Copies of this chain bind each other. A is one copy, B any other.
Amino acid sequence: MVNASIITIGDELLIGQVIDTNSAWMAKELNTAGIPVVRRVAVGDVWNEIWKALDEESAHSDIILMTGGLGPTSDDITKELLCKYFDGKMVVDPASLAHVNYLFEEIFKRPITERNLKQAEIPDVCQVIQNKRGSAPGMLFSRKYPDQATPKIYISLPGVPHEMKGMMPAVLDAIRVRFELSHIAHRTLLTAGIGESMLADMIVDFENALPSHIKLAYLPNYRMVRLRLSASASQKEEMEKELDKHFLTLQQLVKDYIVTNTDEPLEAIVGKILLQKNKTLCTAESCTGGYIAQMITSVPGASAYYDGSFVTYSYKAKEDLLNVNKNTIVEKGAVSEEVVREMANGALKNIQSDYVIAVSGIMGPGGGTPDKPVGTVWVAIGKKGRLITQKFSFGFDRERNVISTAINALNMLRKFILADE
């Protein structure tokens, strides 16, 4: 089966300054196209390290996809190294040169420098993959090894995410003309309200009876567990049918805990339900500081069901924008059942959506007290005349508390809407 390695190049990846989102995105694209990724490697802008990584990944995979190190500055050495690795010499690519000139004159509207022009130079042994969104062209090399029937291919792309993404369709086309690809399929469902071990016990017989070419994985996160069935085969229809059969059985087994039987995130699920019922939502956020709004609006088309959010970070904002009673804050504290109730009612009154989510909590690292430690969160969800509240104790770190609050609040709302009417 044709497989791939991803090599990401850049010192910033090894000192933790940048989170590598490119690899995950590329892996998803490759998988969807039927190319399993067996390894992902990150190395610095260091000649020997890149060279060794190329040697090693050549031993693991048929396709080696690289990003990074193609910029115009001297710390970027990928292109020069690839030229040497594949015994080429540098030449100017006229199409790339025209494109660089066009970019600087028409789009960036900045004077072009010698460095920018050098971006149009490429090793004469590569095939160019055009980069419409930037000045560094992509490059495809191939090498035939004695023990291999098909030459392995090596593709180098820029590390700037939207440039790399724009070039991916051409990359996949170039792969498809060279390799016979098998089919990979996944089925995913999301559960809530049950731990990973209990879930595993519940489906142990199902798991043991699975054929060897179908794999089950558990992906726990923020008190929810995602289950994934994966299969790969040369016969697409047959495999999809078999996978569907097992997925149906799995859904039956865990039906009391299913949030969704698709790969979509919770915020998209909630959006779909609202759209279907023709209802609208607003939010009132204190501790999450806009995170819930941002999750909801990350779904294209959210404006059809989402009115907006009051991000009331200060006491003043809670009073001015949501009509929260100053006395309630003083007597009960900003993180209290009473305050989230008043926030929810204030939001519904001022924006008149059908449903509401209101949250207030202590995210940390500071702000905790003995009776309200870091991680204490109150959530109210519901509609005019009927609110449901719940207290959570998440603990630990700030970022996790924000995400946990958002996910649990959205799931409370999901259940409320489904049970409503």
Point out residues on A near B: beta carbons under 8 Å: 11-21, 23-29, 31, 36-46, 49, 52-53, 56, 60, 71-75, 108, 110-111, 113-116, 133, 160-162, 165-166, 186, 188, 195-198, 200-201, 207, 215-220, 226, 228, 230, 263, 280, 282-283, 285, 288-294, 296-298, 300-303, 306-314, 316-317, 320-321, 350-352, 364-366, 396-400
* A31 shortest CB reach to chain B, Å: 5
CB of B41 within 8 A of CB of A14, answer: no
Complex contacts, A400 vs chain B, CB 8 Å: 161-162
* A185 shortest CB reach to chain B, Å: 11
CB of A29 within 8 A of CB of B16, answer: yes
11 A-B contacts (beta carbon < 8 Å): A13-B40, A16-B27, A19-B19, A19-B24, A40-B41, A74-B200, A75-B218, A115-B200, A290-B294, A290-B297, A309-B311
- Option from B73, B215, B301, B350 in Cβ contact (under 8 Å) with A197: B73
CB of B75 within 8 A of CB of A216, answer: yes
CB nearest neighbor in B for A227: B73
CB of A289 within 8 A of CB of B300, answer: no
Complex contacts, A17 vs chain B, CB 8 Å: 24, 28, 188, 219, 226, 228, 263
CB of A219 within 8 A of CB of B162, answer: no
CB nearest neighbor in B for A186: B15
CB of A307 within 8 A of CB of B314, answer: yes
CB of B310 within 8 A of CB of A71, answer: no
Complex contacts, A37 vs chain B, CB 8 Å: 14-15
Complex contacts, A289 vs chain B, CB 8 Å: 293-294, 296-298, 302
Complex contacts, A25 vs chain B, CB 8 Å: 16
Give the 6 A-B CB pairs with smallest separation, nearest first.
Answer: A289-B297, A16-B28, A290-B293, A290-B290, A308-B317, A16-B27
